[in-house]
Amino acid sequence: MNFDETLRQVLDEHANVVGTVPEVPLADRRAIYRAMLRSRAMDTRMLSLQRQGRIGFFGLTTGQEASVVGTAYPMLPTDWVFPALRETGVSMWRGTTVRQVICQLMGNTGDVLIGRQMPMHFSDRAVNSVAWSSVIGTQLVHAMGAAWAAKLMKTSDVMIGYIGDGGTSSSDFHAAMNFAAVKQVPVVFVCQNNQWAISVPLAAQTVSSSIAIKAAAYGMPGIRVDGNDVLAVIAAMREALDRARSGGGPTFVECVTFRMGGHSSSDDPTRYRDPELVKAWEQRDPLPRFANWLEAQGELTAEDTEKWTVELNDEISAAINDAEALPAPGIETIFTDVYAKMPAHLEEQMKYAQAIGLGTKFEGAFPL
């Protein structure tokens, strides 16, 4: 299979057009930029909450907004997402609210996961986003399996599995890639290559000339795209989704980007990363790059950015106030959504648990 490692771009670092601009309606271009602004605002505010002890953990997307929103935009609502740490913005593009994300971070009654997942491990059946774990690479195997099921069921659904550059060293990455290619399933694997697997730089992760070239070993197309150029990401992702949906099998997309902050709110990147490297990547920031191009087209003004930033922060503030007023999930939620019809033994256990929680005597048959 021929393989081209050229880094695909539509906008260069100075917002000059150097490639073919994909077809995206004006209203959508503005919405894409606003979604990227929202992600940046969420990072700032949630990191502040974590430092104040109001949430326990948060994984930042700062610097990677174009890869997140750009890969989400071409998806259909019926497609399924198998995320990793930095893809909450994909769910938000598909309909998840700011309030729902904050409630998940707090694990309260407003949390669609009823407090059962770690903070920042968001998933929601309403937007076809599947639960993930911190185990590296497992979501790619899940995406591949779901894609095989879609092929067997002859649906038009495509599965999208996300992974980081460090995850490409995991055994599950190789298993998923090989099986997906052999079975020619409708899946798109997206690697957000942000240069760092926590404190391990890309150079210590692999000696391959790129991450995308790994696709060649499995006999599938690989696309290497500038992950800070949202228009290029949209074009690459649209190509991969169209291939999968038309029966052309899997594609591996590498979004070359950079994590500007820490791996998470528990990480201090200054201990292992040269600040000059961060400054260099700040010149490639995906937000001003896209904003500058939109402004040059007469489709955005600096006043729009200021207005939206205020609106988004107000929305986040209101969501924080709502979320902090909500109680923890009731103990009955451990039992009530396990079966369509609750078995007698679980009903007995639920009554016992509720009685203990209320400090009352339980007269049932459950042994003390």
H or E, element range at 175: helix 171-183
Nearest to 212 by CA among 174, 255, 258: 255
**HSE (side-chain half, CA atoms, 13 Å) at 326:** 23
Residue 264 identity (one-letter amino acid): S
- Which residue has tokens 């020619």? 184
d(CA 331, CA 295): 52
Do 265 and 57 meet the contact criterion of CB atoms below 8 Å apart?
yes
d(CA 216, CA 252): 9
Assess whether 272 carries a catalytic annotation: yes
How many Cβ atoms from other residues are within 10 Å of residue 131's Cβ? 16
> Residues 14, 51, 116, 272: which is the catalytic one?
272
> Residues 243, 263, 284, 289: which is the catalytic one?
263
Assess whether 14 carries a catalytic annotation: no
Joined together, the tokens standing for residue 140 give 């790619």
> What is the secondary structure of 195-214 as a DSSP string?
SEETTEEGGGT--SS-SGGG
Assess whether 263 carries a catalytic annotation: yes
**HSE (side-chain half, CA atoms, 13 Å) at 242:** 7
- Report the length, in residues, of the chain: 368
The answer to whether the Cα torsion of 333, 337, 339, 343 is positive or negative is positive
DSSP class of residue 20? P
> Residues 29, 243, 259, 284: which is the catalytic one?
259
Nearest to 98 by CA among 317, 328, 319, 308: 319
DSSP class of residue 366? S
Q: Which residues pair with 251 in a beta bridge?
A: 188
d(CA 131, CA 122): 7
* Residues annotated as catalytic (active site), given as ranges: 259, 263, 272
